[in-house]
Amino acid sequence: MLVFFSSKKKQRTLQKCLDTISNLCLNLLFQFILRFQKWLKRKKNLVIVESPAKAKTIGKYLGPSFFVRSSMGHVRDLPEKKLSVDIENNFTPEYKIIPSRKKLITELLADSKKSAAVYLASDLDREGEAIAWHLTQALEIPDEKVRRVTFNEITKDAILEAFKHPCPVNMSKVNAQQARRILDRIVGYQISPLLWKKITKGLSAGRVQSVAVRLIVEREKEIKEFKPQEYWKITAELKSILGDTEKSGDATTFKAILQKCDNENIEIKNESQAADIVGALQMAGYHVANIKKQTKRNNAPPPFTTSLLQQQASTRLQFSAKKNDAYCSAAL
């Protein structure tokens, strides 16, 4: 496009305006590039959750200043090849990184070092709290960078509210989980080999199974040591006559068990004692001292829940898990 000017003065003025606008645009572009580079170099916040599915969902809610990774559950545990509990030193556990998590820990360690803060968003139960604590130890995260967040539901409002109120790791829950884990190891590590030797390989025993086994053994001992004792029970079949009439059609029969003699509980230990009592009872007269009437109400059982239905189907009908799911899906 050609523009013709009537004078050179107007041409120079327009050229100056164009040069000024061009310089201004270049300055703005340069400032934008500098700010964008600073934004790229700015440290983001690392969020660690347990499962990859949660990581994707939570990442959408938190925005670009956070990046979310998954720990895939526990990252440290007691090694399997030894007891790994120093009983002489206050039951101190010897934790090691799980072999299948070593590569993941290396990646998380690099991410945590370049992060402004590390948010630990594992589950809010004891296991989740222990996972959060193990991550702080395995990644060597400074206390000032650790943020513990918990939530009951994976919705945008719940997630954002939880991240507004971070807290430290709850060591009471962590210690409770460690006590359970250490007790499992101390008991199970020593009893399981006995089960392999006496019964079959592959069986395991822990703090729960061991107590149950002891209860069974003690009960079996009681059964074997039980000494049978002879006792007798006397039941009388009595006939009641309604009113003053003695017509057979008005009579009803019922059974009565001998409970007391002279208002004292009675124990019949042999046949001769029983025969003497029966002889005395045959000569005695009987009358009904009291009649107690009451109404009983039998409520129908509640309807099945899905979980209870599956349990009963497995127990009573030997349904497999796959068959259970197929029937429940068809019912829904």
The pLDDT assigned to 37 comes to 55
Question: 218 falls in which pLDDT band (50, 70, 90)?
Answer: very high
Where are the domain boundaries for CATH 3.40.50.140 in the chain?
45-177
Give the residue-averaged pLDDT of 127-146.
91
What confidence score (pLDDT) does residue 170 get? Answer: 92
Mean pLDDT of the chain: 82
Is residue 248 over pLDDT 60?
Answer: no
Q: Comparing 329 with 94, which gets the higher pLDDT?
A: 94
**What is the mean predicted confidence (pLDDT) over 278-285?**
86
Average pLDDT of 24-46?
A: 68
- Given pLDDT bands bounded at 50, 70 and 90, which one contains residue 135? very high
Query: Residue 2's pLDDT is what?
Result: 47
Report the candidate in 88, 95, 89 with the shortest Cα–Cα distance to residue 177: 95
Please report the pLDDT score of residue 41 as a whole number. 52
pLDDT > 90: percent of the chain: 14
Cβ atoms 307, 314 nearer than 8 A: no
Query: Would the pLDDT of 11 be above 70?
Result: no
Could you tell me if 84 and 78 are in contact, meaning their C-beta atoms sit under 8 angstroms apart? yes
103 vs 34: which has the higher pLDDT: 103
| Residue 6: predicted pLDDT | 54
Question: Domain spanning 45-177 has what CATH number?
Answer: 3.40.50.140
230 φ, ψ to 5°? -75, 135
Region 75-93 average pLDDT: 87
Residue identified by tokens 């009565």 is 256
Characterize 85-96 residue by residue with b for buried, 16 or more Cβ atoms within 10 angstroms of its Cβ, and e for exposed. beeeeeeeeebe
Angle of CA points 187, 100, 140, to nearest 5°: 85
> In 3-state terms, what secondary structure has residue 326?
helix
Would you say the C-alpha torsion 150, 155, 157, 159 has a positive or negative sign? positive
CA angle (164, 168, 171) in 5-degree steps? 145
| Res. 76 pLDDT band, cuts 50 70 90 | very high
Q: How far apart are CA 299 and CA 319, in angstroms?
A: 29
* Of 154-163, 174-183, 225-234, 301-310, minimum mean pLDDT range: 301-310
Gap between the Cα atoms of 153 and 216, Å rounded: 42
Give 196's contacts (C-beta < 8 A, 6+ positions apart): 202, 203
pTM of the model: 0.56
Strand ordering across the sheet containing 66-70? 66-70, 45-49, 118-120, 146-148
Strand partners, 111: none
- Could you tell me if 28 and 99 are in contact, meaning their C-beta atoms sit under 8 angstroms apart? no
Q: Which residues contact 312 (CB under 8 A, 6 or more apart)?
A: 304
Is 292 a residue whose pLDDT tops 70? yes
26-29 own/partner pairs: CB under 8 Å, 24+ apart:
none
Strand pairing category for 45-49 and 66-70: parallel
According to the model, what pLDDT value does residue 307 have? 80
Residue 62's pLDDT is what? 86
The residue that leads in pLDDT, 92 or 12, is: 92
d(CA 261, CA 69): 79
Strand partners, 265: 260
Q: How confident is the model at residue 205 (pLDDT cuts 50, 70, 90)?
A: confident
126-138 and 171-198 helices, crossing angle to 10°: 100
Determine the pLDDT at residue 55.
85
Question: 234, 303, 330, 325: which is closest to 273 by C-alpha?
Answer: 234
Instruction: Report the pLDDT value the prediction gives residue 27, as an integer from 0 to 100.
Output: 76
Angle 52-62/156-164 helices, nearest 10 degrees?
80
For 48-52, the CB contacts below 8 A with 24+ separation are 48/108, 48/118, 48/119, 48/120, 48/121, 48/122, 48/135, 49/121, 49/122, 50/122, 50/123, 50/128, 50/131
Query: Alpha-carbon distance 259 to 233, whole Å?
Result: 9
Higher pLDDT, 125 or 240: 125
Q: pLDDT value at position 245? A: 53
